[in-house]
Amino acid sequence: MNKPIRIFISTLSIILCTLGYSQTHEPLSVVEVSELFLEEQIMPIKLSYSITEIKKDTNDSTYIDSKLSYRLNDTTWKSLDIELRARGNYRLKNCYFPPLKVKIKKSHSKNTAFEGNKTLKIVLPCLVQKDNNDNVIKEYLAYKLFELISPYHFKTRLLEVDLENMKRNTSKSYQLKGFFIEDDKTAAKRLNAKIYKRNMHPLNQESMASIRNAFFQFMIGNTDFSQAYQHNMKVLYIEEKMIPIPYDFDMSGFVNCSYATVSQIEGNSLGLSSVTQRKFRGFERDENLFEQVRQEFLKNRLKIFSLLDSYKDMFENENEFTIARDYISSFFEVMVNTDKFKTEILNSARKE
Protein backbone atom coordinates (compact mmCIF):
# COMPACT_ATOMS: atom_id res chain seq x y z
CA MET A 1 0.00 0.00 0.00
CA ASN A 2 1.14 3.50 -0.66
CA LYS A 3 1.72 6.09 2.00
CA PRO A 4 -0.38 9.30 1.87
CA ILE A 5 0.01 10.73 -1.61
CA ARG A 6 1.11 14.30 -2.25
CA ILE A 7 -0.72 15.97 -5.10
CA PHE A 8 1.17 18.96 -6.42
CA ILE A 9 -1.01 21.70 -7.89
CA SER A 10 1.18 23.58 -10.27
CA THR A 11 -1.22 25.62 -12.37
CA LEU A 12 -3.53 27.38 -9.96
CA SER A 13 -5.50 29.38 -12.49
CA ILE A 14 -6.45 26.31 -14.53
CA ILE A 15 -7.78 24.50 -11.46
CA LEU A 16 -9.73 27.54 -10.31
CA CYS A 17 -11.31 27.90 -13.73
CA THR A 18 -12.19 24.22 -13.88
CA LEU A 19 -13.86 24.17 -10.47
CA GLY A 20 -15.52 27.53 -10.84
CA TYR A 21 -13.63 29.18 -7.99
CA SER A 22 -12.75 32.84 -8.14
CA GLN A 23 -9.17 33.99 -8.49
CA THR A 24 -9.32 35.26 -4.91
CA HIS A 25 -9.66 31.67 -3.69
CA GLU A 26 -6.28 30.23 -2.77
CA PRO A 27 -6.04 26.47 -2.29
CA LEU A 28 -2.80 25.17 -0.90
CA SER A 29 0.04 24.26 -3.24
CA VAL A 30 0.48 20.84 -1.63
CA VAL A 31 -2.37 18.64 -0.46
CA GLU A 32 -1.95 15.31 1.36
CA VAL A 33 -4.77 12.84 0.81
CA SER A 34 -4.68 9.42 2.44
CA GLU A 35 -5.24 6.39 0.25
CA LEU A 36 -8.51 5.69 2.07
CA PHE A 37 -10.06 8.87 0.67
CA LEU A 38 -8.47 8.77 -2.77
CA GLU A 39 -10.77 5.93 -3.79
CA GLU A 40 -14.36 6.78 -4.73
CA GLN A 41 -15.90 3.32 -4.85
CA ILE A 42 -17.91 2.10 -1.90
CA MET A 43 -15.90 0.17 0.71
CA PRO A 44 -17.46 -2.93 2.33
CA ILE A 45 -16.63 -3.22 6.04
CA LYS A 46 -17.66 -5.44 8.96
CA LEU A 47 -18.09 -4.28 12.54
CA SER A 48 -19.05 -6.27 15.62
CA TYR A 49 -19.91 -4.74 19.00
CA SER A 50 -22.70 -4.36 21.54
CA ILE A 51 -24.82 -1.30 20.83
CA THR A 52 -25.95 -1.32 24.46
CA GLU A 53 -22.38 -1.41 25.74
CA ILE A 54 -21.07 1.29 23.44
CA LYS A 55 -23.88 3.62 24.49
CA LYS A 56 -23.02 3.18 28.18
CA ASP A 57 -19.53 4.68 27.97
CA THR A 58 -19.79 7.98 26.18
CA ASN A 59 -16.97 10.17 27.44
CA ASP A 60 -14.24 11.17 25.01
CA SER A 61 -11.58 8.92 26.51
CA THR A 62 -13.51 5.66 26.95
CA TYR A 63 -13.21 3.22 24.05
CA ILE A 64 -14.00 -0.45 23.63
CA ASP A 65 -11.67 -2.87 21.85
CA SER A 66 -12.97 -4.18 18.55
CA LYS A 67 -12.02 -5.16 15.02
CA LEU A 68 -12.74 -3.58 11.67
CA SER A 69 -12.72 -5.88 8.66
CA TYR A 70 -12.60 -4.37 5.20
CA ARG A 71 -12.64 -5.76 1.68
CA LEU A 72 -10.04 -4.90 -0.91
CA ASN A 73 -10.67 -4.55 -4.63
CA ASP A 74 -9.65 -8.16 -5.23
CA THR A 75 -12.37 -9.38 -2.80
CA THR A 76 -9.76 -10.18 -0.13
CA TRP A 77 -10.81 -9.30 3.42
CA LYS A 78 -8.38 -7.85 5.95
CA SER A 79 -8.84 -6.93 9.60
CA LEU A 80 -7.55 -4.17 11.85
CA ASP A 81 -7.54 -3.99 15.62
CA ILE A 82 -9.39 -0.80 16.51
CA GLU A 83 -10.95 1.01 19.43
CA LEU A 84 -14.51 2.32 19.25
CA ARG A 85 -16.67 4.78 21.11
CA ALA A 86 -20.04 6.39 20.49
CA ARG A 87 -20.03 10.09 19.65
CA GLY A 88 -22.43 12.93 18.98
CA ASN A 89 -25.12 14.55 21.09
CA TYR A 90 -28.59 14.41 19.56
CA ARG A 91 -27.98 11.23 17.57
CA LEU A 92 -26.39 9.47 20.53
CA LYS A 93 -29.50 10.09 22.65
CA ASN A 94 -32.12 9.52 19.95
CA CYS A 95 -30.71 6.96 17.52
CA TYR A 96 -30.63 3.18 17.71
CA PHE A 97 -27.31 3.15 15.82
CA PRO A 98 -25.10 5.83 17.39
CA PRO A 99 -22.44 7.45 15.22
CA LEU A 100 -18.98 6.18 16.03
CA LYS A 101 -15.43 7.33 16.49
CA VAL A 102 -12.66 4.89 15.52
CA LYS A 103 -9.13 4.98 16.90
CA ILE A 104 -6.39 3.06 15.07
CA LYS A 105 -2.83 2.63 16.29
CA LYS A 106 -0.19 3.78 13.84
CA SER A 107 1.48 0.37 13.93
CA HIS A 108 -1.78 -1.33 12.93
CA SER A 109 -2.60 1.00 10.03
CA LYS A 110 0.90 0.99 8.50
CA ASN A 111 0.94 -0.23 4.89
CA THR A 112 -2.85 -0.34 4.74
CA ALA A 113 -5.46 1.95 3.19
CA PHE A 114 -5.95 3.43 6.66
CA GLU A 115 -2.39 4.69 7.00
CA GLY A 116 -2.32 8.31 8.11
CA ASN A 117 -5.69 8.10 9.88
CA LYS A 118 -5.26 7.70 13.63
CA THR A 119 -8.93 8.48 14.17
CA LEU A 120 -12.01 8.39 11.95
CA LYS A 121 -15.69 9.15 12.34
CA ILE A 122 -18.35 6.75 11.09
CA VAL A 123 -21.87 7.89 10.24
CA LEU A 124 -24.58 5.20 10.33
CA PRO A 125 -28.35 5.33 9.86
CA CYS A 126 -30.13 6.63 12.93
CA LEU A 127 -33.04 4.24 13.20
CA VAL A 128 -34.15 0.79 12.08
CA GLN A 129 -36.73 1.94 9.57
CA LYS A 130 -37.51 2.18 5.89
CA ASP A 131 -35.27 4.54 3.91
CA ASN A 132 -32.66 4.73 6.69
CA ASN A 133 -29.90 3.91 4.19
CA ASP A 134 -31.16 6.54 1.76
CA ASN A 135 -30.82 9.17 4.49
CA VAL A 136 -27.17 8.21 4.91
CA ILE A 137 -26.54 8.54 1.18
CA LYS A 138 -28.13 11.99 1.16
CA GLU A 139 -25.99 13.16 4.06
CA TYR A 140 -22.91 11.73 2.37
CA LEU A 141 -23.87 13.62 -0.80
CA ALA A 142 -24.04 16.85 1.20
CA TYR A 143 -20.34 16.40 2.05
CA LYS A 144 -19.55 15.67 -1.59
CA LEU A 145 -21.46 18.77 -2.70
CA PHE A 146 -19.38 20.91 -0.38
CA GLU A 147 -16.26 19.38 -1.95
CA LEU A 148 -17.37 20.90 -5.25
CA ILE A 149 -17.86 24.27 -3.58
CA SER A 150 -14.71 24.60 -1.50
CA PRO A 151 -11.22 23.05 -1.49
CA TYR A 152 -11.39 23.22 2.31
CA HIS A 153 -13.58 20.30 3.38
CA PHE A 154 -13.64 17.00 5.21
CA LYS A 155 -12.91 13.92 3.11
CA THR A 156 -15.47 11.11 3.16
CA ARG A 157 -15.76 7.49 1.96
CA LEU A 158 -19.04 5.67 1.42
CA LEU A 159 -19.39 2.28 3.12
CA GLU A 160 -21.44 -0.89 3.01
CA VAL A 161 -21.56 -1.91 6.66
CA ASP A 162 -22.21 -5.43 7.91
CA LEU A 163 -22.93 -4.64 11.55
CA GLU A 164 -23.27 -7.44 14.10
CA ASN A 165 -24.93 -6.28 17.30
CA MET A 166 -23.62 -8.52 20.06
CA LYS A 167 -26.05 -9.41 22.84
CA ARG A 168 -25.59 -11.58 25.93
CA ASN A 169 -26.65 -14.90 24.38
CA THR A 170 -27.16 -14.02 20.73
CA SER A 171 -26.42 -11.49 18.02
CA LYS A 172 -28.24 -9.75 15.20
CA SER A 173 -26.82 -8.51 11.90
CA TYR A 174 -27.77 -5.38 9.99
CA GLN A 175 -26.85 -4.43 6.44
CA LEU A 176 -26.37 -0.68 6.45
CA LYS A 177 -24.96 2.17 4.43
CA GLY A 178 -22.49 4.40 6.22
CA PHE A 179 -19.49 6.59 5.58
CA PHE A 180 -16.14 7.52 7.05
CA ILE A 181 -15.42 11.17 7.81
CA GLU A 182 -11.87 12.40 8.04
CA ASP A 183 -10.93 13.50 11.56
CA ASP A 184 -10.49 17.24 12.06
CA LYS A 185 -6.86 16.82 13.11
CA THR A 186 -6.16 14.79 9.97
CA ALA A 187 -7.85 17.44 7.83
CA ALA A 188 -5.84 20.18 9.51
CA LYS A 189 -2.60 18.31 8.80
CA ARG A 190 -3.63 17.71 5.18
CA LEU A 191 -4.42 21.38 4.71
CA ASN A 192 -1.33 22.57 6.59
CA ALA A 193 -3.68 24.29 9.02
CA LYS A 194 -4.28 24.75 12.72
CA ILE A 195 -7.58 24.12 14.47
CA TYR A 196 -8.97 27.32 15.99
CA LYS A 197 -10.84 26.40 19.17
CA ARG A 198 -12.20 29.73 20.39
CA ASN A 199 -15.48 31.37 19.46
CA MET A 200 -15.16 33.76 16.55
CA HIS A 201 -17.71 35.98 14.84
CA PRO A 202 -18.24 34.97 11.18
CA LEU A 203 -17.40 38.52 10.05
CA ASN A 204 -13.87 37.88 11.34
CA GLN A 205 -13.58 34.78 9.17
CA GLU A 206 -12.34 34.86 5.58
CA SER A 207 -15.05 36.60 3.57
CA MET A 208 -15.40 34.33 0.55
CA ALA A 209 -15.15 31.10 2.56
CA SER A 210 -17.77 32.39 4.99
CA ILE A 211 -20.15 33.36 2.18
CA ARG A 212 -19.65 30.03 0.41
CA ASN A 213 -20.52 28.23 3.62
CA ALA A 214 -23.66 30.33 4.10
CA PHE A 215 -24.78 29.68 0.50
CA PHE A 216 -24.09 25.96 0.88
CA GLN A 217 -26.09 25.74 4.11
CA PHE A 218 -28.95 27.58 2.40
CA MET A 219 -28.72 25.21 -0.58
CA ILE A 220 -29.15 22.10 1.57
CA GLY A 221 -31.64 23.83 3.88
CA ASN A 222 -29.53 23.52 7.02
CA THR A 223 -29.90 25.84 10.00
CA ASP A 224 -28.38 23.50 12.58
CA PHE A 225 -24.98 25.20 12.72
CA SER A 226 -23.14 28.16 14.17
CA GLN A 227 -19.95 29.56 12.69
CA ALA A 228 -19.41 31.75 15.74
CA TYR A 229 -19.74 28.97 18.33
CA GLN A 230 -18.45 26.19 16.08
CA HIS A 231 -21.60 24.12 16.32
CA ASN A 232 -21.35 21.52 13.54
CA MET A 233 -18.49 23.61 12.24
CA LYS A 234 -14.72 23.71 12.55
CA VAL A 235 -12.67 26.84 11.96
CA LEU A 236 -9.19 26.23 10.60
CA TYR A 237 -6.38 28.77 10.46
CA ILE A 238 -5.04 28.41 6.92
CA GLU A 239 -2.53 30.75 5.31
CA GLU A 240 -3.35 33.51 7.81
CA LYS A 241 -7.10 33.14 7.18
CA MET A 242 -9.90 31.72 9.32
CA ILE A 243 -11.79 29.18 7.21
CA PRO A 244 -15.10 27.59 8.36
CA ILE A 245 -15.62 23.94 7.43
CA PRO A 246 -19.11 22.46 8.06
CA TYR A 247 -20.16 18.93 9.02
CA ASP A 248 -23.23 17.00 10.29
CA PHE A 249 -26.08 17.66 7.87
CA ASP A 250 -28.73 15.20 9.07
CA MET A 251 -31.02 18.03 10.24
CA SER A 252 -31.04 19.64 6.79
CA GLY A 253 -34.03 19.81 4.46
CA PHE A 254 -31.97 18.04 1.80
CA VAL A 255 -31.59 14.95 3.99
CA ASN A 256 -35.00 15.40 5.64
CA CYS A 257 -34.74 12.59 8.18
CA SER A 258 -37.87 11.51 10.02
CA TYR A 259 -36.32 12.59 13.34
CA ALA A 260 -35.11 16.00 12.10
CA THR A 261 -36.34 19.02 14.05
CA VAL A 262 -36.17 22.74 13.34
CA SER A 263 -33.12 24.22 15.03
CA GLN A 264 -33.28 26.74 17.81
CA ILE A 265 -30.37 29.14 18.16
CA GLU A 266 -29.62 29.99 21.79
CA GLY A 267 -33.20 29.02 22.65
CA ASN A 268 -34.70 31.30 20.00
CA SER A 269 -36.95 29.97 17.24
CA LEU A 270 -35.99 30.71 13.64
CA GLY A 271 -39.64 30.99 12.65
CA LEU A 272 -39.60 27.80 10.56
CA SER A 273 -42.26 25.11 10.70
CA SER A 274 -40.30 22.43 8.82
CA VAL A 275 -36.67 21.55 8.17
CA THR A 276 -37.38 21.74 4.45
CA GLN A 277 -37.96 25.50 4.75
CA ARG A 278 -34.86 27.50 3.91
CA LYS A 279 -33.51 30.43 5.88
CA PHE A 280 -30.33 32.28 4.93
CA ARG A 281 -28.11 32.67 8.00
CA GLY A 282 -25.12 34.43 6.48
CA PHE A 283 -24.09 37.92 7.51
CA GLU A 284 -24.24 41.14 5.53
CA ARG A 285 -21.16 41.78 3.43
CA ASP A 286 -20.23 43.58 0.23
CA GLU A 287 -22.91 42.71 -2.34
CA ASN A 288 -20.18 42.23 -4.95
CA LEU A 289 -18.83 39.31 -2.91
CA PHE A 290 -22.31 37.78 -2.70
CA GLU A 291 -22.66 38.11 -6.46
CA GLN A 292 -19.25 36.55 -6.99
CA VAL A 293 -20.20 33.49 -4.93
CA ARG A 294 -23.58 33.36 -6.67
CA GLN A 295 -21.80 33.07 -10.01
CA GLU A 296 -19.54 30.32 -8.64
CA PHE A 297 -22.58 28.26 -7.70
CA LEU A 298 -24.16 28.85 -11.09
CA LYS A 299 -20.95 27.77 -12.84
CA ASN A 300 -20.94 24.59 -10.77
CA ARG A 301 -24.62 23.82 -11.34
CA LEU A 302 -24.04 21.12 -13.96
CA LYS A 303 -21.35 19.47 -11.83
CA ILE A 304 -23.66 19.50 -8.82
CA PHE A 305 -26.47 17.74 -10.69
CA SER A 306 -24.04 15.37 -12.36
CA LEU A 307 -22.78 14.38 -8.92
CA LEU A 308 -26.31 13.81 -7.64
CA ASP A 309 -27.31 11.79 -10.70
CA SER A 310 -24.24 9.55 -10.38
CA TYR A 311 -25.63 8.23 -7.07
CA LYS A 312 -29.21 7.68 -8.21
CA ASP A 313 -28.86 3.90 -8.46
CA MET A 314 -27.64 3.64 -4.87
CA PHE A 315 -31.00 4.76 -3.50
CA GLU A 316 -33.32 2.00 -2.36
CA ASN A 317 -36.32 4.28 -2.89
CA GLU A 318 -36.17 6.20 -6.16
CA ASN A 319 -38.65 8.74 -4.81
CA GLU A 320 -36.17 9.71 -2.09
CA PHE A 321 -33.64 10.56 -4.77
CA THR A 322 -36.16 12.55 -6.81
CA ILE A 323 -37.24 14.62 -3.81
CA ALA A 324 -33.62 15.36 -2.87
CA ARG A 325 -32.72 16.35 -6.42
CA ASP A 326 -35.78 18.58 -6.70
CA TYR A 327 -34.78 20.23 -3.43
CA ILE A 328 -31.45 21.30 -4.93
CA SER A 329 -33.29 22.44 -8.07
CA SER A 330 -35.40 24.77 -5.96
CA PHE A 331 -32.20 26.38 -4.64
CA PHE A 332 -31.04 27.15 -8.17
CA GLU A 333 -34.43 28.69 -8.90
CA VAL A 334 -33.41 31.30 -6.34
CA MET A 335 -29.91 31.63 -7.77
CA VAL A 336 -31.04 32.35 -11.33
CA ASN A 337 -33.84 34.75 -10.39
CA THR A 338 -32.51 38.19 -9.45
CA ASP A 339 -35.61 39.16 -7.48
CA LYS A 340 -35.67 35.91 -5.49
CA PHE A 341 -31.93 36.14 -4.88
CA LYS A 342 -32.34 39.66 -3.52
CA THR A 343 -35.32 38.75 -1.33
CA GLU A 344 -34.19 35.38 0.05
CA ILE A 345 -30.46 36.03 0.37
CA LEU A 346 -29.31 39.65 0.06
CA ASN A 347 -32.16 41.17 2.07
CA SER A 348 -32.20 38.25 4.51
CA ALA A 349 -28.53 38.49 5.49
CA ARG A 350 -28.00 38.96 9.20
CA LYS A 351 -26.88 42.34 10.46
CA GLU A 352 -25.75 41.17 13.90
Phi and psi at residue 174, in whole multiples of 5°?
A: -130, 140
Contacts of residue 16, defined as CB under 8 A and 6 or more positions apart, other chains included, come to 22, 23, 25
Q: Taking 80 as the threshold, does the pLDDT of residue 289 lie above it?
A: yes
**Could you tell me how far CA 9 lies from the centroid of its own chain?**
24
Other C-beta atoms within 10 Å of 216: how many? 23
Q: How many helices (H) and strands (E) would you count in the chain?
A: 12, 14
Q: Taking 90 as the threshold, does the pLDDT of residue 270 lie above it?
A: no
The full set of domain ranges for the chain reads: 37-186, 193-346
| Band (93; pLDDT cuts 50, 70, 90) | confident
Q: Taking 70 as the threshold, does the pLDDT of residue 186 lie above it?
A: yes
The pLDDT tens digits for 24-77 are 444 444 456 889 999 889 999 999 999 999 988 666 678 999 999 999 877 889
Q: Mapping DSSP to helix (H, G, I), strand (E, B) and coil, where does residue 273 land?
A: coil
| Band (128; pLDDT cuts 50, 70, 90) | confident
CA dihedral for 37, 42, 44, 49, sign (positive or negative)? positive
The whole-model pTM stands at 0.89
The pLDDT tens digits for 234-249 are 999 999 999 999 999 9
